[in-house]
Amino acid sequence: METVIVTGASTGIGHGCAAVLVRKGFRVFGSVRSRTDADRISHELGEKFVPLLFDIADQTAVRSSAAIVEEILRGKPLFGLVNNAGIAVPGPLLYLDIDEFRRQLEVNVTGQLIVTQTFAPLLKSADAQKAGRIVMMSSVGGRNASPFIGAYNASKFALEGMSESLRRELMLWGIDVIVVAPGTIATPIWDKAEQADIARYSNTPYAAALNAVRDYMLVNGRKGLKPEQVGELVHRALTAARPKTRYVITPDPLQNLLVGTLPKRMVDRLIARRLGLSPKSLTRRSSLQPK
């Protein structure tokens, strides 16, 4: 039985990946951050799912979990590592708390490297043709950024660059690194979005645009793809004889194509028109100073 690590397996895309891989016969070690989640997912997915308790930004905890996996593998190489765990910190960059920005990068970039450094030795094989693969969970926002999720976009742009460097460095051992970039996925995050605290920005020039973005995300987020669809794509990335270096999966591929190919200034104008992000929308009282 081949073994795969999936980080952030408690909900959403991580849970969808774990479920698909278990169904296809893999043993999945899934990282969660609470015993409650560990017990719940073990009950849902059965004996092929083995929970690991760690936060990806906690290097000591990650190393402890890797030791457990290594002992269970008994010298057999790890088939795959799916770096999925991550967070999204919303807010206009001019007013975003710097500690929140640091936390965004700590989890979505540094945490991915901690996990990769720790588990990469288990992916190696005496036969480079049998070395494991790494899947990095990016986003369509890893190539094209949007207003008010700049911290998240920064982390995903960084992740994509780091993934490319890793892919070229790890060729030495035959370990491949593949990026999966989802668009909108229907996950529990949209149930929480309605309660998202954007009140702190109510006295900034972005208040109206932020409300418009939140409403758009609520309506369209719940229409997104199922997490298991991403899981199927991750399975393909792990098992394809000749995988691509980057896969995109989105409910609106045409929009993604247009945003990625139209001139940036044109996309800027379209976004500004939709959200009211132009000098004409400023009031006399508007200021760049935080309130």
- 95 belongs to the catalytic site: no
If you ran DSSP here, which 8-state letter would residue 98 be given? H
The span from the CA of 81 to the CA of 136, in Å, is 8
Burial status of residue 273 (CB atoms within 10 A of its CB: 0-12, 13-18, 19 or more): exposed
The span from the CA of 186 to the CA of 127, in Å, is 40
Residue from 152, 201, 206, 247 carrying the catalytic annotation: 152
CA–CA–CA angle 243, 246, 247 (5° rounding): 85
The span from the CA of 26 to the CA of 40, in Å, is 19
Read off the amino acid at residue 89: V
Rg (CA), the chain: 20
Active site amino acids:
152
